[in-house]
Structure 1
Amino acid sequence: MILPSQRHLFELPEDLTWLNCAYMSPQMHAVSEAGKASVVRKARPWELKAEDFFTESEALRARFGDLVGGDAEGVALVPSASYGLAVAAMNVRVRVGQRLLVLAEEFPSNVYPWRELADRAGAHVVTVGRPEDGDWTRALLAELDERTAVVAVPHCHWTDGSLVDLVKVGERVREVGAALAVDATQSLGALPLDVAVVRPDFLVAAGYKWLMGPYSQSYLYVAPRWREGRPLEHNWLMRAGSEDFSRLVEYREDFQPGARRFDVGERSNFVLVPMAMAGLRQLLSWGADDIQQTLGALTERVAKGARSLRLEVPPESQRAGHLVGLKRRGGYAPDLAARLAARKVYVSVRGDSIRVSPHLYNSEADVDRLLEELDALV
């Protein structure tokens, strides 16, 4: 279903065209109000109860589980995607000479931890080159064999929205006995994903883009076989019995159940958690399928107009509906994004692509305004 404009829910000036959700989402009024109320609440610590350190973070954990089709026991609350990927890299098993697969031009947070792990284990990071036909799935499967220990991929490429078929890749990963680590930062919330179908070993998502939440509140999903793993840090909340503040000095070796052992310290953040909850609540109300269908209509309008400007666009069948990259032979002027911003039209330049990433606050008029400005500038 195509959803009507939701611009009224966001803090966006009327004369501004924000087609840059992949950079950061504008804040919904509900998220801002949750933050304001939380700041005031934090000013009154005498009103906080011991259970408040658990109840709201547990509710957020459950809502994220609902979003990915997984159980709350598999969700850890982390400050960033890189934190979650560091947890994954600490726990996967890699032998000397094995291969860790990443995509060319992948976001750095999904490259550096695997390079460090490869160095530590005597393994090799193999970069899968960008395929000429745009089919990342085929390119990955061609490299994926019994030598592979880890496949670390996004659901769609962060520079241009080109897709990876996580179901097909996951099936092959399991056949060869490897691990699948997914960075869903640039897709989750706008592109449907079900961990029961994809079956990743680890999945991370930063919360301040397509999940409509605040900066520094992110998520890690951990498959059942890894939930007894090693945490990145040791904080008091992750240990069993931490609900009883009077007995915290009776140090425990056992952990809270499920993926809670991977939670970041101070995960009960009394400002960020309610804000993140407000964002997820609205996303679940809209539904990822309807969000994707609505945004897909907008990016197809972008693609059609861009081709008329002789820009290169991935075929609709090979890209996500919420994010599209526009390439130009010879590239773009280095100040293109700044020149568009001066006209109050906001996109990103990533690699050799103009990255256009709308959301439900955008309309066909926003797309047409972008195309008009591009026509004048490129």
Structure 2
Amino acid sequence: MQVSYKSYFDIPDDICYLTTPGSGLLPITSKEWRLKRDIDFFSTATDLREKQGEFNLAVKKSIAEFFTVAIQNVYNTPNFSTGFNTLLDRLPKDSKILLLEGDYPSVNFPVISRGFQYVTACIDEQLEEHIIHAIEKHQPSVFILSIVQYISGIKINLEFIKQLKSQFPELLIIGDGTQFLGTEVFDFSQSGFDIVGASGYKWLLGGFGNGFILVSPYGKQVLFPNLATQGLEIDKMWAGKSIDQLYFEPGHIDTLAQGTLQKGLAFFKEHGLENTAAYTRSLVETAKAELSKRKILSQVVINRAETSTIFNLQIDQRHYTMLMENNIKCFPRGNGIRIGFHLYNDENDLEKLLSIIDTKILK
């Protein structure tokens, strides 16, 4: 295994931080930048307030370059849910939507609560086959899913998404990347997704209060089909903004939050996302083997070739308090206890977790 990235983060030696699926950590450089930024912002001698538009445009450029998407198709949002609810209100009202059973509530609830006609596919070893069957049977116009499931950690096969888009080019494919982006290289332009949104506070090292929506040309055509013919006038105060931008970015955006996301992306760029992803992948593969050996992963997760950075330990949730008392940061989810491995974790974290499992849970 490569050298650990833990030294770039303020993590006490006795803390095993495995709860990135709930909230990720910030690099030391991001914390230092935030401190200086706040000092500068509170000074009346600076022009940071006047340059908030310019600043957020620079953040948007960083996002566009990081995920390979045209900058005019990137929208800064306070979080995934805000952007997602906005785009749902732009979908045709007669859309039939395919969802996954038990997907993240912030994905499924806004669809169902709006009264859209919807169908579902179940999540198990044959997830992709169930999706194809549901599409062929129900012929939905939109497919919405989390790329990685928040409880189980089950990850969709990304090559399957590309094939799905090729097979059904008019199917609008929308992904929640909050539990995925930052864990491996992702080229949006070649992904097969028409829209991907995410919050930055988990795997992207971005802290709270930021997110984004990425939209393909086809996705933009579906969401804003009549922009060219609507004849809407934009007040001169909004000069330089497009109508679609006003939907997704209707008000001022927190530059401290968006800047923190930008610093997170810069960290990945400096160290190479392909390198951090390879490091984490190696740790995750080892963890899966060890946890499978102890029979505390679901058979669905064990059987699927696709492995994310999230695992749900199939142990009684009464052990949660004991794990936390032993400085194993985790969280009860579903029928077990959820953990996740990111670039700031290492083999020592895994060994500590396994030791506690062996001596205090499986004894």
1:79–1:218 contact (8 Å) kept in structure 2: yes
TM-score (norm 1): 0.84
> What CA RMSD, in Å, does the superposition of the two structures yield over aligned residues?
2.5
Runs of at least 5 residues in structure 2 that lack an aligned partner in the other structure? 225-232
* Structure 1 residues 337 and 277, CA gap change in structure 2 (3 angstroms): same
User: Which stretch of the first structure deviates more once superposed, 74-83 or 217-226?
Assistant: 217-226
Deviation at 1:29, TM superposition (A): 0.9
Letter in 2 for 1:368: E
Residue aligning to 1:377: 361
Asked if the contact 2:182/2:203 (under 8 Å) is kept, the reply is yes
Match status 1:297 vs 2:297: no
Q: 1:180 to 1:257 in 2, by over 3 A?
A: same
CA change 1:295–1:353 in 2 (3 A) is farther
Structure 1 residue 155 displacement after superposition: 1.6
Q: Residues 140 and 169 of structure 1 are in contact (CA less than 8 Å); yes or no, is this contact kept in structure 2?
A: no
TM-superposed deviation, 1:366 = 0.8
Deviation at 1:258, TM superposition (A): 6.7
CA distance in 2, matches of 1:240, 1:320: 47
Find the counterpart in structure 2 of residue 275 from structure 1.
260
Structure 2 equivalent of residue 13 of structure 1: 12
Query: Which structure 1 residue ranges, 5 or more long, are not aligned?
Result: 231-238, 242-246
Task: Give me the whole-angstrom Cα distance separating, in 2, the residues matched to 1:354 and 1:99.
Answer: 34
Correspondent of 1:165 among 138, 157, 182: 157
Q: Does 1:215 align with 2:199?
A: no
Q: Among residues 102, 113, 116, which one is paired with 1:116 in the alignment?
A: 113
Is residue 2:133 matched to residue 1:150? no
Q: Of 332, 337, 340, which residue of structure 2 is paired with 1:354?
A: 337
CA shift in 2, pair 1:103/1:353, >3 Å: farther
**Taking every aligned residue pair, what percent have the same amino acid on both sides?**
17
Does 2:94 align with 1:101?
no
8 Å contact 1:76–1:259 — kept in the other structure? yes
Report how far residue 319 of structure 1 moved. 3.0
**TM-score normalised by structure 2 residue count:** 0.87
1:289 to 1:139, Cα distance in 2 relative to 1, 3 A: farther
Give the SS at the match of 2:268.
Answer: helix
Aligned in 2, Cα 1:89/1:144: closer, same or farther, shift over 3 Å?
same
**SS of residue matched to 1:47:** coil
1:77 and 1:264 in contact (8 A); partners too = no
Aligned CA distance change for structure 1 residues 66 and 258 (closer, same or farther; 3 Å): farther
Q: What's 1:39 paired with?
A: 38
Q: 1:72 to 1:80 in 2, by over 3 A?
A: same
Aligned partner of 2:22 in structure 1 is 23
Q: Is the 8 A contact 1:73 1:258 kept in 2?
A: no
2:171 counterpart of 1:178: yes
Q: Which moved more, 1:333-342 or 1:73-82?
A: 333-342
Select 1:311's aligned residue among 289, 296, 300: 296
2:263 match: secondary structure: helix
Whole-angstrom distance in 2 between the partners of 1:45 and 1:188: 37
8 A contact 2:157–2:306 mirrored in 1: no
State the alpha-carbon separation in 2 of the partners of residues 276 and 350 from structure 1: 26
162-171 or 141-150, larger mean C-alpha shift: 162-171
Equivalent residue, structure 1, for 2:310: 323
Deviation at 1:51?
Answer: 5.5
Q: Does 1:203 align with 2:196?
A: yes
1:166-191 Cα offsets, whole Å, 9 max, x none, are: 44335435626221110000000112
Structure 2 counterpart of 1:194: 187
Measured in 2, the distance between the counterparts of 1:217 and 1:264 equals 15
Equivalents in 1 of 2:55, 2:20: separation in Å?
Answer: 26
What's the secondary structure of 1:139's corresponding residue?
helix
Please state how far the C-alpha of 1:262 moved relative to its aligned partner: 1.5
